[in-house]
Amino acid sequence: MDHPGAVVMVPVEGDRVLMVRQPREAVEEYTLELPAGKLDHAGEPPLECARRELAEEVGRSAATWRDLGGFYTAPAILTEFIHCFLATDLTRVADAPRADEDEAIEVVEWPLADLDRAIDGSRDAKTLIGLLRLQRGLRAR
């Protein structure tokens, strides 16, 4: 199946990573995830999509972006490639675009000191990859 691609952001604000809790009908549960979104079209620059989705999902903009690489979600059956970005130096967007009407999103500020628990409890692949890449970067400091 063809897919235009997607982005996942790892937004770090001070000593916290911003995540979103939202209902996922396909698995019939609420999941805790990193903010993410689908590219509008195959040619959309991933960073442009990431900036838009960060504002829509967590009401923030980032002054600093770092590419954390990307990954295929299911290369045997799907062309979806997810671009992963670290977003820092965050500021609140006063009149941020709202998430889609069908999205019931709660922003969760997760302490970096408790990152292991977020990783251990993650059931979402893009979130797990983003958090592991964040953790690896923090350990390299």
Among candidates 133, 127, 110, which has minimal Cα distance to 14? 110
SS3 content of the chain, % helix, strand, coil (to 5): 25, 40, 35
Q: What is the dihedral of CA 11, 117, 99, 58, to 10 degrees?
A: -30
Contact 10, 54 (CB under 8 A): no
Catalytic residue among 48, 103, 106, 109: 103
103 is catalytic: yes
DSSP state of 41: S
The residues annotated as belonging to the active site are 103
